[in-house]
């Protein structure tokens, strides 16, 4: 980690799946990050406030009535004093990092999307297929490049405007959601034809342009896409697209199919993303 010397103290706020994987990586290289996660009883905001580089890994759930909720992230940034490099690893809608930079010009706000599977978070963090850091201001590009070199190296690396990095994260999860729904509909067509879906799936996945991920129709014991990320992220992106009058018609259709497959269980998926079940919305 040759660039770590640029940052005397590193802090992590939110030590869940993403923050925990980041912690494991830093500690593996002999660093002892300052930690703060009130839900886990770890550290204090005052401890992390002494860091000059802070990673924000707090929940950004999807809530009824308001949709995407970045309140925890805004509270996190508001609680940090001085002049710091703050790297947002929470999934945030395009424009969020820019907005925070406008509000807190004393800091350098960056965005570093994470592409982890919860079941293998540490392994995925250590061996990423891509590493992307976004900057909200062009003059913060050197800080973004330093953070990029601090993190695990990847075959694809890029420093881009934060809005681009934010959309890359949502585009990734939304494309995977589309792939899940396509596999589910192929499953139904295969049954109607009296053939084995597994034969179709394996032959399709053998095409290197397609690959095997997200084509197991009964993955996790249910049909459709679920879990902490895909439902909340697709719904948040759909809201943004409607607001901008740039509808994502294909993703809208996939969302409707997923609702028909998942029904009320979509509420549990959104709750896993950080919102209480009483405050989530399925449509």
The catalytic residue among 143, 178, 229, 238 is: 229
User: Does the structure show a pLDDT above 90 at 63?
Assistant: no
Average pLDDT over the chain, rounded to an integer: 91
Long-range contacts of 275-281 (CB under 8 A, 24+ apart): 275/61, 275/62, 275/63, 275/69, 275/232, 279/63, 279/64, 280/61, 280/62, 280/63, 280/64, 281/62, 281/63, 281/64, 281/65, 281/67, 281/235
Going from the N-terminus, what domains does the chain have, and what CATH number goes with each?
2-160 (3.40.50.720), 168-279 (1.10.1040.10)
Residues 6+ apart with CB under 8 A from 235: 62, 67, 255, 270, 281
What's the rounded Cα separation, in Å, for the pair 211 and 138?
A: 36
Across 107-136, b (16+ Cβ under 10 Å) vs e yields bbbbbbbbbbeeeebbebbeebeebbbbbb
57 catalytic? Reply is no
The CA–CA distances, whole Å, from 187 to 97, 205, 217, 230 equal 40, 14, 7, 20
Nearest to 116 by CA among 208, 19, 224: 19
User: pTM for this one?
Assistant: 0.90
What's the rounded Cα separation, in Å, for the pair 60 and 29?
A: 29
Phi and psi of 233, rounded to 5°? -75, -40
Residue pointed to by tokens 């995925």? 124
- pLDDT tens figures, 127-181: 999 999 999 999 999 999 999 999 999 999 999 999 999 999 999 999 999 999 9
- pLDDT tens figures, 184-200: 999 999 999 999 999 99
Long-range contacts of 208-211 (CB under 8 A, 24+ apart): none
Instruction: Return the percentage of the chain with pLDDT > 90, whole number.
Output: 82
């Amino acid at each position: 980690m040759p660039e770590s010397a640029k940052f005397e103290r590193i802090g992590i706020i939110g030590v869940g799946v993403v923050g925990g994987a980041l912690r494991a990586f830093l500690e593996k290289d002999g660093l002892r990050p300052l930690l703060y996660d009130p839900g886990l009883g770890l550290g204090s905001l005052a401890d992390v406030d002494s860091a000059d580089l802070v990673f924000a890994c707090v929940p950004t759930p999807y809530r009824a009535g308001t949709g995407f909720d970045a309140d925890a992230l805004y509270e996190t940034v508001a609680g940090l004093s001085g002049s710091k490099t703050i790297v947002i690893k929470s999934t945030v809608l395009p424009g969020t990092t820019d907005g925070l930079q406008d509000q807190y010009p004393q800091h350098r706000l960056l965005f570093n999307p994470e592409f982890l599977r919860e079941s293998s978070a540490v392994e995925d963090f250590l061996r990423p297929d891509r590493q992307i850091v976004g900057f909200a201001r062009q003059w913060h590009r050197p800080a973004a490049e330093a953070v990029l070199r601090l993190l695990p190296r990847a075959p694809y690396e890029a420093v881009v405007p934060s809005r681009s990095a934010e959309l890359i994260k949502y585009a990734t999860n939304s494309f995977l959601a589309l792939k899940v729904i396509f596999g589910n509909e192929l499953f139904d067509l295969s049954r109607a034809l009296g053939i084995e879906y597994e034969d179709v799936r394996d032959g399709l996945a053998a095409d290197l342009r397609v690959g095997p991920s997200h084509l197991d129709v009964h993955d996790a014991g249910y049909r459709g896409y679920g879990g902490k990320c895909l439902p909340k992220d697709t719904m948040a992106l759909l809201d943004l697209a409607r607001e901008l009058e740039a509808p994502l018609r294909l993703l809208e259709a996939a969302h409707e199919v997923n609702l028909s497959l998942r029904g009320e269980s979509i509420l549990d998926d959104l709750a896993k993303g950080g919102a209480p079940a009483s405050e989530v919305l399925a449509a």
